[in-house]
Amino acid sequence: SSHQYKFIKSKHKVATVNRRGVLFTVPRLHQQTLNTVTIHLGEETFKRITALPNEYGGRVVLTAFGRYILHTYNVEDIEIVLSHSRNIKKGMAYSFMEPWLGTGLLISTGNKWHRRRKILTPAFHFDILKSFLKVFEEQSKSLVEGLRQLNKGGTDVVDVIPFISDYMLYAICETAMGIKLDSDTSETKIEYKKAILDIGSIVMQRLTTIYLHNDIIFNLHPLGRRFAKCLDKVHSFADNVIMERKKAYGTEQNGGSKRRLALLDLLLEAERKGEIDLEGIREEVNTFMFEGHDTTAIALSFGIMLLADHEEVQVKLLSCFLFIFFIIWLSITHR
């Protein structure tokens, strides 16, 4: 891409973070006197950006088309920024996700965030999480089995991200939404998975293509139209999940069976009490389906990459597990 990003040296104090949580100010007058570097977007961008603190210190301001973005690497700065209530509102980049996630927990602020958070917090009570261990175990086992199958094909280079994403999606759907996706081979499920992967890459392309930040241009652009199609699929899938659970919830209630309250059940219960409407439930369902699988899939994939790069750690890990299993075996056989 031909877009250029300009980096301003931080020693000129263009970036300030103070105790009031104010992030930074860039006096325009000073700009001419600042030392700048220009970076072209491309393969090397990530490496260049991550190397900037070595050159310029812990506060670097990135400018592009008159917008200023502070990259801060100082622990002290980060603490002030993260703990200050002034900075609760999400940045502009999150607005690209809004047509998808609505103002669910991730993007909402103030009163709305508070009310929703109150409804949802019980879903993450430690006792509830424990009851989901079975799901985690099942999904882990089938993930390992799936990896084995991949290996059987004789391939030794595998893109693990879409693969692991699948299992993380199954886990979040079963734990939070109370629906089993792994046994679901329907066209809509496959379309849903494709659509969320697609949305991820569209949002990244939009972020790095400055003129697509404008809503009107984006909506007219082929990328924006692809985004709209993905949204249709994702929303109708989420709506189906909600309606199915709503039906099941009614029948289970009548049977009086004891079940763990999945996140979606809590939301449906809140709807009956008039604390949230169906549109609100849809926002939270989309938010959790995304937050619940993308984060963990990326974390696991990076974990696997690091293990692949550091064989000595693999050996340590293996001996650690063997030791633990040995202790468990001893405690069982000598009881």
Binding site for ligand HEM (CB under 6 A): 105-106, 117, 172, 176, 287-288, 291-292, 295-296, 299
**DSSP secondary structure letters along 255-270:** HT------HHHHHHHH
Give the helix ranges, DSSP H, for the chain: 45-56, 75-83, 98-101, 110-120, 126-131, 133-152, 160-172, 187-207, 215-220, 222-255, 263-272, 278-309, 311-333
- C-alpha span between 65 and 93 (Å, rounded): 15
Residue 56 or 167 with smaller CB distance to ligand HEM: 167
Residue 173 or 195 with smaller CB distance to ligand HEM: 173
Residue 1 or 95 with smaller CB distance to ligand HEM: 95
Closest approach, Cβ 173 to ligand HEM, in A, equals 11
Closest approach, Cβ 236 to ligand HEM, in A, equals 22
Instruction: Give yes or no for a contact between 198 and 290, defined as CB atoms under 8 angstroms apart.
Output: no
Closest approach, Cβ 308 to ligand HEM, in A, equals 19
Structure tokens at 321: 């597990």
Residue 69 or 105 with smaller CB distance to ligand HEM: 105
Closest approach, Cβ 241 to ligand HEM, in A, equals 15
Residue 14 or 238 with smaller CB distance to ligand HEM: 238
- C-alpha span between 69 and 91 (Å, rounded): 10
Residue 109 or 214 with smaller CB distance to ligand HEM: 109
- C-alpha span between 157 and 144 (Å, rounded): 16
Closest approach, Cβ 4 to ligand HEM, in A, equals 28
Closest approach, Cβ 132 to ligand HEM, in A, equals 10
Give the helix ranges, DSSP H, for 208-262: 215-220, 222-255
Closest CA to 270 of 100, 115, 106: 115
